Structure 1
């Protein structure tokens, strides 16, 4: 994987913080094993005291806030903690689903080792609001607004609605193959077909938060190439 320049990913920047459009397949923070590229390490090459204010799953792309100093880190972290940050994600899910301000309020239990489950008894409160944005024959583009910030929250909440994210095999999602949506599509002899998108289709589209006590901003992250390509193919062949 080509190492991105953090300057090329910046969507918003001031003296205290910057927001990047995180590429997929890069961890937000250093992984325990070390050795791998992370957004934190890229950010520290740009600003020595950089701190990542929240996390996105490794495969998830989109808006990530990075503080340049401890005061900014505190300001942003407290907003996340007190649920003052408005977060909007876009997901492409398997199946056709009509969600209109659907509120999923199911507690999530962190089992450790990057595993979570729904547990009404032991889980922590988790709430997500879903709206369908675009319908295809076999898929739906969904807007997801997590009110809380639990690990894998959007992914597991969608799975409980039988609307697993395309490509999210951990939660029952199936990858999208061109042969499934394009009529008369033939693979060459001995060719193995790869999915249109090689990760689960989740993108952190928009964040609204305060950059100081008076000013609130909204930052919007364009779709990365793989997400945009999948949508284009669905528009072309699955409409």
Structure 2
């Protein structure tokens, strides 16, 4: 199924509308899906979070990245001191992040840890588990809500490798919904709703048209040592998916 025509960034995006926290040192936004964190080399270069942020704030810097399809909390630093402060916390693994994912299958994850090294494939678009050449990667998973054939999972990455959560969930036979790169199947309303009727000669579309992964919380220390804990609400597509599962598949 080709969903490319649905994977487009919102029009007339204003970075100020995405802000969920701001002080003199940091801006935290709730990144929408389909917007790259940085300018892409091959795709449309007219839109990225960093470009939008610099148009509004001047010399501001991304402190970390989120995949293009991943939504949620993304931190930017307003000055070099703030950037160094958070960079050191990332280096020492002191930043606490929490992601939510909807995965295929009904699973009971009670602090299940995956400790498997990750290597990036030669084309740079995906990763694989590689016990010989891979880099250390660790993620802990918790079931938030189990449905008939799907699960809402809380994911706590200890390290920050590319596609870490996605490939680690694949290793647990719980690939993320709408993530064909790592074996995740699409989810359709007809799968969870009884007596579902599709209009004649129409194609049913998935409930979510991107990898069902959301960066829900981030926890770090401000420059003065104050602890900041910011939560990014679900975007509309993720919220609709979870609500439909709750309504029809609990």
TM-score range with shorter-chain normalisation?
Answer: over 0.9
The number of aligned residues is: 239
Are 1:10 and 2:19 an aligned pair?
A: yes
User: What is the TM-score normalised by the length of structure 2?
Assistant: 0.93
Rounded to whole Å, the distance in 1 between the matches of 2:231 and 2:207 is 24
**CA-CA distance at 1:45 after TM superposition:** 0.9
Rounded to whole Å, the distance in 2 between the matches of 1:214 and 1:93 is 36
Residue number in structure 1 paired with 2:3? none
4+ residue stretches of structure 1 with deviation over 3 A? none
Residue number in structure 2 paired with 1:188? 199
Residue number in structure 1 paired with 2:31? 22
Alignment of 1:139-178 (within 5 A): 139-178=150-189
5+ residue gaps in structure 2?
Answer: 1-9
**CA-CA distance at 1:215 after TM superposition:** 0.8
Residue number in structure 2 paired with 1:86? 96
Rounded to whole Å, the distance in 2 between the matches of 1:3 and 1:155 is 30
Rounded to whole Å, the distance in 1 between the matches of 2:88 and 2:145 is 34
Are 1:37 and 2:37 an aligned pair?
A: no
Query: Which of 65, 68, 86 in structure 2 is aligned with 1:58?
Result: 68
What CA deviation, in whole Å up to 9, does each residue of 1:122-148 have, x standing for no partner? 000000000001011011100000000
**CA-CA distance at 1:96 after TM superposition:** 0.5
5+ residue gaps in structure 1?
Answer: none
Answer with 41-50 or 25-34: which moved more.
25-34
Answer with 207-216 or 90-99: which moved more.
207-216
User: What is the TM-score normalised by the length of structure 1?
Assistant: 0.97
Rounded to whole Å, the distance in 2 between the matches of 1:163 and 1:207 is 24
Secondary structure class of the residue paired with 2:81: helix
Answer with 30-39 or 93-102: which moved more.
30-39
Are 1:123 and 2:134 an aligned pair?
A: yes
Are 1:197 and 2:224 an aligned pair?
A: no
Rounded to whole Å, the distance in 2 between the matches of 1:36 and 1:135 is 40
- In the superposition, relative to structure 1, how do residues 36 and 170 fare at CA in structure 2: closer, same or farther (>3 Å)? farther
Residue number in structure 2 paired with 1:206? 217
Secondary structure class of the residue paired with 1:7: helix
**CA-CA distance at 1:213 after TM superposition:** 3.9
Are 1:227 and 2:238 an aligned pair?
A: yes
Rounded to whole Å, the distance in 2 between the matches of 1:124 and 1:143 is 23
Answer with 108-117 or 167-176: which moved more.
108-117
Residue number in structure 2 paired with 1:98? 108
